[in-house]
């Protein structure tokens, strides 16, 4: 026996889970993903999502509804006669008709230790908040936002220098194996569900452009967490006067230092920047349209002298 699964996901983060479930012998009757979006070098070509591309390689039918407001899309979903829907970073809130459209319901792979960091950006928010641990959870979806009962959990440590990109990759693989185990248990009728507590709930709001600028008036540890929490995308940044022109410079990694000074001042030529408390040494940077460079190589092409005030 194997489960008839509808898989619902969109980005690279979702692909290992799709692959693992297919390899485990379950029948993926359809994949749902976000519609192709404009992309390519000039933004003119329609780009299929990573999940869309992976499904085609696996020979699985793909559906790309904009939403499920159309009754025909809902009926098409129900007609698949699936046992369960597996959802990993799909990008759409599922209406009750879809939640009830399979025999066993919909199960979500969520990248946090719920109820902490419900919502769109749990990986970034955990690092930006200075959390030392996060994880993957398999939960049964209800009508709330990441409020359903939890089936399985796998904790993942967040190292002091770990970036959002590095944590993303760890959670991506942890989530795939966790969902495989959860579906095996569900097939065997042995997947217990535990309601989430209300205490400790936090919402991981989507990252806005307005909060990506580095505020050096904050303590150095907070600045460091901000930088690594937004690395590699969308990236934390500051502006510096380069050759009489204000240029935006993205920072991909940093190190907390103890030297102090006026916040936003370059203290040493190695790009140690004073913060509200302590300082940060910037170790990987990128100019607009340029490559990511280590600090030493970056300084050779873009010297920012000690004493410079950064905006």
Distance CA 306, CA 271 (A): 8
Q: Is 30 annotated as a binding residue?
A: no
Q: Tokens standing for 100?
A: 């009830």
What's the CA angle centered on 287, arms 286 and 292, to 5 degrees? 25
Residue 149 assigned ligand-binding role: no
Q: Do the annotations mark residue 44 as ligand-binding?
A: no
Tell whether 113 is in a known binding site: yes
Lookup: tokens for 160: 């002091």
Measure the CA–CA gap between 5 and 151, rounded to whole angstroms: 17
Helix axes 50-58, 15-23, angle to 10 degrees: 20
Tell me the C-alpha distance between 187 and 56, whole Å: 26
Asked if 156 contacts 170 with a C-beta cutoff of 8 angstroms, the reply is: yes
Asked if 305 and 243 touch (Cβ cutoff 8 Å), the reply is: no
CA distance 136 to 153: 6
The closest of 146, 154, 156, 152 to 182, measured between CA atoms, is 152
DSSP code per residue over 20-62: HHHHTT-EEEEEE-PPPEEESTTS-EEE--HHHHHHHHHT--E
- DSSP letters of 102-151? SSS-EEEEESSSTTTTEES-HHHHHHHTT-SEEEEEEEE--SSSS-SPEE
Cα–Cα distance, 232 to 202 (Å, whole number):
24
List C-alpha distances in Å: 154 to 163, 175, 176, 310: 19, 8, 11, 41
Binding residues: 112-115
Binding residues for (6S)-5,6,7,8-tetrahydrofolate: 112-115
């Amino acid at each position: 026996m194997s489960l008839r699964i509808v898989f619902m996901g969109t980005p690279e983060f979702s692909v290992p889970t799709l692959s693992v479930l297919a390899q485990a012998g379950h029948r993926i009757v359809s994949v749902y993903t976000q519609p192709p979006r404009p992309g390519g070098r000039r933004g003119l070509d329609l780009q299929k999502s990573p999940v869309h591309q992976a499904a085609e390689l696996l020979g699985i039918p793909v559906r790309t509804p904009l939403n499920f407001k159309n009754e025909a899309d809902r009926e098409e979903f129900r007609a698949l006669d699936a046992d369960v829907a597996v959802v990993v970073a799909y990008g759409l809130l599922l209406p009750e008709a879809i939640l009830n459209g399979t025999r066993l319901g919909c199960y979500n792979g969520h990248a946090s230790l719920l109820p902490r960091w419900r919502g769109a950006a749990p990986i970034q928010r955990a690092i930006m908040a200075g959390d030392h641990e996060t994880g993957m959870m398999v939960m049964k979806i209800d009508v709330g936002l990441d409020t359903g009962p939890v089936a399985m959990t796998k904790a993942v440590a967040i190292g002091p220098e770990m970036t959002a990109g590095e944590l993303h990759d760890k959670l991506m693989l942890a989530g795939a194996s966790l969902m495989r185990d959860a579906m095996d248990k569900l097939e065997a009728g042995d997947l217990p569900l535990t309601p989430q507590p209300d205490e400790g709930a936090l919402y991981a709001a989507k990252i806005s452009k307005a909060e990506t600028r580095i505020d050096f008036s904050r303590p150095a540890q907070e600045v460091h967490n901000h930088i690594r929490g937004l690395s590699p995308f969308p990236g934390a940044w500051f502006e510096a006067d380069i050759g009489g022109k204000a240029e935006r410079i993205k920072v991909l990694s940093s190190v907390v230092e103890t030297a102090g000074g006026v916040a936003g001042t370059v203290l040493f030529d190695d790009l140690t920047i004073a913060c509200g408390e302590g300082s940060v040494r910037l170790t990987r940077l990128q100019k607009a349209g340029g490559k990511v460079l280590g600090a030493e190589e970056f300084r050779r092409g873009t010297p920012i002298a000690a004493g410079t005030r950064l905006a």
